[in-house]
Amino acid sequence: MPNEYTLYGAPMSLYTGKARAYLIFKKLPYNEVFSSLKVYKSIIVPNTGVRFVPVLKTPKDEYLQDTAMIIDTLEQRHPERSITPESAKQKLVSYLFETWADEWLVIPAMHYRWNKANFPFIYEEFGKVIVPNMPRFIRAFLGKKIGAKFKGFVPLLGITDKSIPAIESWYENHVLPLLDKHFSKNDYLLGSKPCLGDFGLMGPLYAHLYRDPAPGALMKEVAPNVARWVERMNQPQDAEGMFLADDVIPDTLLILLTRIFKEQWPVLINTVESIDTWIVQNPQVKAVPRTIGEHTFTIGDITEKRAIGTFHQWKVQRIVDCYHQFDSKEKLSVDAFLQSVGGLHCMQLDIKKRLSRIKNKLVLSD
């Protein structure tokens, strides 16, 4: 079809779930192609220069990589059924939830996938990348070798014997119950239509935490309304729905937002500061590596170390830019709201050295 998009991804891929749900809601015609080893070698790497999925091929034969870039691009080209609230607080909250989901909920997503009883299921899934048509036991054997590489990322996220109890307590006693309460009253984060934050949540909450056997059983038992939200996000919705009137942020999101600013944002702010220092120490280098050392983070009452992921700054820039686009009247309302959830100082973050994505690589902006 001449106007059809092609989504290269995989059912077990975290960010593919985000892109797929977006295409479904927007009612954009697309064909999904499983990212086998052959597809990686012949399509993904030659056209993007990286080995990450999802990748979206547009009807113009462009290859877009990274879900934030995919969604930003398609929102400009297809403004109908917009996922961006027009009101200030809701727009900012949508961005906040996207970055929380993309960069923070990946912690329980990776923990519950690789440290729980999801085998041989997950090995069979990864085995499809190499031998998609072979029997399950062969896929599981070969998939274990690929899975070992992904499991190796777990400590980089700060998932250790020390932090795991706090991660599980946070996810099972905070994230799931609060989201379950919210989705018992609301179809989506901000009303009867999904926003950018909803699609962000679909990454970790679908592919890892709903679809994998052990966390999937947990979600359905502890948070059935979250499970139903996941299922709803994967189904075409004829009615577009509406965002809540009068720029209302539901009370059911306030505790989540308060903890986002308390725990995730110190990491994001330190990431920006660390990148600034790294750039000063490497003045001749334009390309920024994906990680630049370690820093500490806190979940609950546990502090642990994790890798400094430089891509986080690019995501933070989008949030801070959103905030600074508000006029003085909007900022009065937004600032009062941010003050109530402990986030006002975060929006004052001074990003001295901005990053850009050029050919799917992070580089220092001119």
Res 91: pLDDT: 98
Cβ pair 310, 345 in contact under 8 A: no
Report mean pLDDT in 10-residue bins for the chain, 366 residues: 88 97 98 94 96 96 97 97 98 98 98 96 90 80 83 93 98 98 98 98 98 98 98 95 98 98 98 96 92 96 97 97 97 98 97 94 91
Cβ pair 64, 20 in contact under 8 A: no
Nearest to 148 by CA among 118, 119, 114, 111: 114
- Burial environment of residue 76 by CB neighbours within 10 A (0 to 12, 13 to 18, 19 or more): exposed
| DSSP reduced 3-state for 69 | helix
Cβ pair 167, 299 in contact under 8 A: yes
Domain termination residue (choose one: 46, 77, 108): 77
Residue 290 lies in a domain: yes
Pair 192, 133 in one domain: no
Res 2: pLDDT: 65
Q: What is the CATH number of the domain that holds 200?
A: 1.20.1050.10
Res 135: pLDDT: 78
- The radius of gyration of the chain from alpha carbons, rounded to an integer in Å, stands at 20
Residue 82 lies in a domain: no
Q: Express each pLDDT in 259-288 by its tens digit.
A: 999 999 999 999 999 999 999 999 998 999
Neighbouring CB atoms inside 10 A of 37's CB total 13
Res 140: pLDDT: 81
Pair 276, 179 in one domain: no
Q: Is the peptide bond before 120 cis (omega within 30 degrees of 0)?
A: yes
The dihedrals phi and psi of 285, each to the nearest 5 degrees, come to -95, 125
Query: Residue 311: which residues within 8 A CB-CB, separation 6 or more?
Result: 103, 290, 362
The boundaries of the domain holding residue 147 are 120-153
List, in sequence order, every residue forming a beta bridge with 306; answer none if it has no partner: 295
Pair 92, 241 in one domain: yes
Nearest to 15 by CA among 230, 227, 204, 229: 204
Res 149: pLDDT: 82
Q: Express each pLDDT in 142-151 by its tens digit.
A: 888 888 888 8
Rounded Cα–Cα distance for residues 183 and 196 (Å): 16
Res 1: pLDDT: 55
Pair 188, 332 in one domain: no
